[in-house]
Structure formats: C-alpha cells, structure tokens
C-alpha cells in the first residue's frame, strides 16, 4: 500500500485532513504531499504514500504548477482571499484594456511578497500565527515566475489561468493585481489543474477512492 495518489481535493478541506483520511484508508503512517492547497481551493493534490515516496517530496515541490483563479475586484481583505476581513474598498471599475495591461505587467520573473496569512515560517514562527495575533512583520520578497492568460472579465470577477514556479502565492497575485488596477481585489476561487507532469484529469475524488483498490501511480 504505497505509491502516488492524485486527488481532486474538495473545497473546505485542508491538506492535513486529507493526509489523515489516507492514513486510515491505507493503514500507512508515512503520508505526505507535493504542495498544499488552502481550504478555499479545490483541485489537484499529489499525495505520497509510504516512506519510499514521501522521500521524493522535495523533488515534486519544485515542479511548475497551474491554476484557474477568480479574482473579485472592488475590495481587498487581510487574508487576500474571500475568507478574510475587508480592509479596503473601491468603486473603480477597470476597463478590459486596463486589465489586459496589468496582466501583461505581471508576466515572467518578478518579486512577490508572501501574505501574512500563510504557513511560511519566519524566525521559527508561522506567519499566520503572527497575523492572528494582530502582528504584521516585514517579509522579504521572493523571486517567482508566472504566466497568466485572461479567461474572462465581467466586473467584479476576473478569471485567469496561471502557470507558476514553486513558492508563488496566487492570493498575493490577486491582491497585487487589484492594487495595480486601483480597484483592490482578493481571491474568490482557486482550482489547481497541474502539478509537474500530473494533471487534474488524472485525479480521483475521495468518493471514488471508496470503491475497489486505490489507484496508485508508480506504486
């Protein structure tokens, strides 16, 4: 009972819960993943079952990932997504031309500041623990690479496809694009569609895992 499982994570579930479910299903203690997803997000989770495969975690974490994201313009939140408190609002309605211009400015290599509400550690403490205590600290910008394609724009919703390097925060991208458009913005929906060579089309829902043997890849 070991190998790689591709799971289509449902909304509202965190990565720790998914690990717990697979531990019970497989009776294997060593279960990990190749990149977490926020509870808000859905889509592809590459789950690693067994010591042989959890050792490969770092290799998978460095792979390119792709997402379908929806940004809601008009308001910014402290978490950069729809679960946070609104911190700024604007009635500015960007034109399609302005949206296309901003998307073009975010292509390629850039420096991105991680959000305070994230699991990233600084000084041995997770940023979201500091944020929940009302503490905000300076975070060094990290170099990331993104490729963005416009899918649809119907104010206040801006839908984009994003391919990105390791360590990219789509929530930060939503926040930063909203700031650039002078209308503010936050992430309202996110779905991971690709992780390295694995795609969402190969993934199984948790309901599908209850029938028959587990569909391991390379197991």
Q: Answer for the pair 185, 93: CB distance below 8 angstroms, yes or no.
A: no
C-alpha–C-alpha distance, residues 142 and 107, integer Å: 15
Q: Answer for the pair 172, 178: CB distance below 8 angstroms, yes or no.
A: no
User: Which residues, 6+ apart, have CB-to-CB distance to 92 below 8 Å?
Assistant: 181, 182, 183
The 3-class SS string of 112-175 reads ECCCCCCCCEECCEEHHHHHHCCCCCCCCCEEEEEEEEEEEEECCEEEEEEEECCCCCHHHHHH
Q: Which two tokens stand for residue 109?
A: 């290599």
User: CA distances (Å), 52 to each of 1, 28, 36, 217, in order?
Assistant: 11, 12, 20, 13
Count of other CB atoms within 10 angstroms of residue 18: 21
Q: Which two tokens stand for residue 132?
A: 């929940």
Q: Answer for the pair 122, 111: CB distance below 8 angstroms, yes or no.
A: no
Check if 189 is active-site: no
Q: Which two tokens stand for residue 54?
A: 């959890």
Out of 38, 109, 152, 161, the active site residue is 38
Catalytic residues: 38
């Amino acid at each position: 009972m070991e190998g790689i499982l591709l799971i289509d994570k449902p909304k509202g579930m965190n990565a720790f819960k998914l690990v717990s479910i697979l531990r019970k299903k497989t009776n294997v203690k060593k279960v990990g993943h190749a990149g977490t997803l926020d509870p808000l997000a859905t889509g592809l989770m590459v789950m690693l079952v067994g010591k042989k495969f959890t050792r490969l975690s770092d290799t998978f974490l460095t792979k390119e990932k792709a997402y379908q994201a929806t940004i809601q313009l008009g308001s910014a939140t402290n978490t950069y997504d729809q679960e946070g408190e609104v911190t700024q609002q604007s009635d500015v309605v960007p034109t399609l031309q302005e949206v296309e211009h901003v998307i073009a400015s975010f292509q390629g290599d850039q420096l991105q500041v991680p959000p305070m509400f994230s699991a990233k550690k600084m000084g041995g403490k997770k940023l979201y623990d500091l944020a929940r205590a009302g503490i905000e600290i300076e975070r060094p910008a990290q170099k990331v690479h993104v490729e963005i394609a416009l899918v649809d724009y119907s104010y206040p919703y801006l839908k984009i496809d994003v391919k990105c390097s390791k360590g990219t925060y789509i929530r930060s991208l939503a926040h930063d694009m909203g700031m650039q458009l002078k209308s503010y913005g936050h992430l309202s929906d996110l779905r991971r569609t690709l992780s390295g060579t694995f795609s969402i089309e190969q993934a199984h829902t948790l309901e599908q895992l209850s029938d028959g043997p587990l569909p391991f890849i390379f197991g």
